[in-house]
Structure 1
Amino acid sequence: MNKNEKINWDELGFDYIKTDYRYISTWKDGNWNEGTLTKDNMITISESSTALHYGQQCFEGLKAYRTKDGTIQLFRPNRNASRMNDSCDKLLMPEIPNDKFIDACMQVVKANERFVPPYGTGGTLYIRPFIIGVGDNIGVKPAPEYIFSVFCLPVGPYFKGGLTPVNFMISDYDRAAPYGTGQQKAGGNYAASLQAHKIASDRGFADCIFLDPSTHTKIDEAGAANFFGITKDNKFVTPISSSILPSITKYSLLELAKDYLHLETVEEDVLLDDLDRFKEAGACGTAAVITPIGGIEYKDKLHVFHSETEVGPITKKLYETLVGIQFGDIEGPEGWIYKVN
């Protein structure tokens, strides 16, 4: 993007925009190099890289927020660093020291400060760290070299319309295998979800609900986000499964529901045949933040929660609390906010 081009902050979607700088570091002979910022958004790798053939790669997603006084801050980047290292451990890739991960994100945000949307627009700077296996290799084994990179772009709401209820349908497909890579932020999980998402979108739904791959009786994830429900006796419930990505937003909401809204919180099985226990439901994640679920189509019938047009009061309060902390309007728990100096 040309420096003279102006961004319409109010019309941002969730689309790629080339920003000024990105960070890149390489791993070879057992060590990561220091890493550097570059203007080049293209990567040249060997045609035999494991990332291309065997899916040896993972990524993260986090955001930078501009507060009312103009300060820029990150939300719990240490948790993203830890989750990326969990993915690396599972996929036999070298871990990124937490300090290196956070420093890389900070460097990228500072170098692209002009792309951080103004306070009040609802926009954020989305940060995408990733690791890919590269180098000359054709056997099914870990790569000899790796690239760790971080880029960023300004984004608006993941689902158009912001905090408005949307409907989901139950998918017949699985996004991950039992005891597979469902708990890792690996690209293969997302590739496996594309067909199911297209079917849902073609039928007029925002996305699909993935069930547990073993029995297809319990909710695992809501598209590329985690699911939560508010029961009629005011419990915040979210599924527990070996196939669910441990969402940083979800675990933040579990704390906020308990400590700020004084709700009982539970991680447990969410059975499809027991949806009547919920008066509100939503999908949550870094990109989606909180997306209220109006209804879920199950057995050719739309099960509606609070409303198809209005946000439930507890979901709304959770959203306002989370976003208030992220944008600096509400004081969050200790250690959640990292200032970009």
Structure 2
Amino acid sequence: MSGAGINWDNLGFDYIKTDLRFLSVWRDGAWQEGTLTEDNVLHIAEGSTAIHYGQQCFEGLKAYRCKDGSINLFRPDQNAARMQRSCSRLLMPHVPTEMFIEACKQVVRANEKFIPPYGTGGALYLRPFVIGVGDNIGVRTAPEFIFSVFAVPVGAYFKGGLKPHNFSISTYDRAAPQGTGAAKVGGNYAASLLPGADAKQHNFADCIYLDPLTHSKIEEVGSANFFAITEHNEFVTPKSPSVLPGITRLSLMELAESRLGLKVVEGDVFVDQLDQFKEAGACGTAAVISPIGGIQYNDKLHVFHSLESVGPVTVKLYNELTGIQFGDVEAPAGWIVKA
């Protein structure tokens, strides 16, 4: 499949095999130099810890085609740092920041024809990951590791523009107290499949997880971070050791304060105090912002701004961040790396 043969307007968030991906192996205490390969199938030992014990982590970031034809990578240093924290949590070797960013650049350049054109709203999604491999059977850290980055073209998340979605409060826990909630590891997502499917069966976009200790505070929305806007124009987002520190969340916090003049508050978001918010949303790499129309809790749908339209502050945040990503709005220093 060639880049020229893709219908850019019908792109979703699905796997499409691109030409080349980066692969490096860690053995004898060091990462190999790494190479680009056409092979999109991993060949690993049957005893690999990634298969049996979930010793793996991953990242997600995007490359964007700008109006002038150049290519923007959005804050890859932050993804590198988060992957290093995930690796520490799972006793895996760090991928150095320079190696991480260079691998992403190589993959973007090697698959440039798959980057959706400027104006389509699409981007090239990058998936870096580290997995434990090698001959093993006991519960221990792996003898070898693979670091890889592959790329997939993805379309605009909202085909008809931003629109609100409804979510329900889950009775399941996303993470354990002092567990792996703050690390981007596959086990967190495997555990979310059942509650997410249950929410969708009841016609909700996804479910919202409460804190595992007290079940009284909002932590995450599906696989995204939660934020809300108060009547006093405060940008509020949960603070918890089990919340994944999202790069989009971090960026919105900084833009809310520096560009929109909002007060940023990281703290408790009690599920029985939703009436203090005039807008709410979920934020992450895929959608940037998914506006929340209403939240179902105790058989009642709490509506924020509207079930049909998106609140003005949410729209401003979305436009500011996507403008930066596509090169139409000046970015804060260090946010954009040219591929």
In the superposition, the TM-score normalised over structure 2's length comes to: 0.99
Deviation at 1:162, TM superposition (A): 4.4
In 1, the alpha carbon distance for the partners of 2:99 and 2:4 equals 32
Name the aligned partner's letter for residue 211 of structure 2: D
Q: CA RMSD in A?
A: 1.0
In 2, the alpha carbon distance for the partners of 1:157 and 1:302 equals 28
Query: What residue in structure 2 maps to residue 137 of structure 1?
Result: 136
In 1, the alpha carbon distance for the partners of 2:34 and 2:157 equals 30
Query: What residue in structure 1 maps to residue 51 of structure 2?
Result: 52
Deviation at 1:58, TM superposition (A): 0.1
Using a 3 Å threshold, how does the CA distance of structure 1 residues 81 and 4 change in structure 2: closer, same or farther?
A: closer
Name the aligned partner's letter for residue 66 of structure 2: T
Query: What residue in structure 2 maps to residue 333 of structure 1?
Result: 332
Matched, 1:9 2:8: yes
8 Å contact kept, 1:55–1:188: yes
- Superposed, 1:157-196 pairs within 5 Å as 157-158=156-157, 161-196=160-195
Matched, 1:92 2:102: no
Query: What residue in structure 2 maps to residue 258 of structure 1?
Result: 257
8 Å contact kept, 1:59–1:185: yes
Deviation at 1:288, TM superposition (A): 2.0
Q: Work out the percentage of aligned pairs sharing the same amino acid.
A: 68
Name the aligned partner's letter for residue 321 of structure 1: E
8 Å contact kept, 2:12–2:156: yes
In 1, the alpha carbon distance for the partners of 2:272 and 2:168 equals 14
SS in 1 for 2:5: coil
Query: What residue in structure 2 maps to residue 288 of structure 1?
Result: 287
- Superposed, 1:63-212 pairs within 5 Å as 63-158=62-157, 161-212=160-211
8 Å contact kept, 1:225–1:288: no
Deviation at 1:332, TM superposition (A): 1.1
8 Å contact kept, 1:13–1:160: no
8 Å contact kept, 2:3–2:114: no
Offset from partner CA, 1:175-234 (integer Å, 9 cap, x none):
111110000000000001000000011111110001101111000000000000000111
Q: Which runs of 5+ in 1 are unaligned?
A: none
Matched, 1:310 2:309: yes
Using a 3 Å threshold, how does the CA distance of structure 1 residues 161 and 296 change in structure 2: closer, same or farther?
A: farther
Offset from partner CA, 1:89-136 (integer Å, 9 cap, x none):
010000001000000000000000000000000001000000000000
In 1, the alpha carbon distance for the partners of 2:31 and 2:229 equals 45
SS in 2 for 1:188: helix
Deviation at 1:8, TM superposition (A): 1.1
SS in 2 for 1:308: coil
8 Å contact kept, 2:257–2:263: yes
8 Å contact kept, 2:225–2:249: yes
SS in 2 for 1:334: coil
In 1, the alpha carbon distance for the partners of 2:205 and 2:240 equals 23
Deviation at 1:157, TM superposition (A): 3.8
In the superposition, the TM-score normalised over structure 1's length comes to: 0.98
In 1, the alpha carbon distance for the partners of 2:195 and 2:122 equals 28
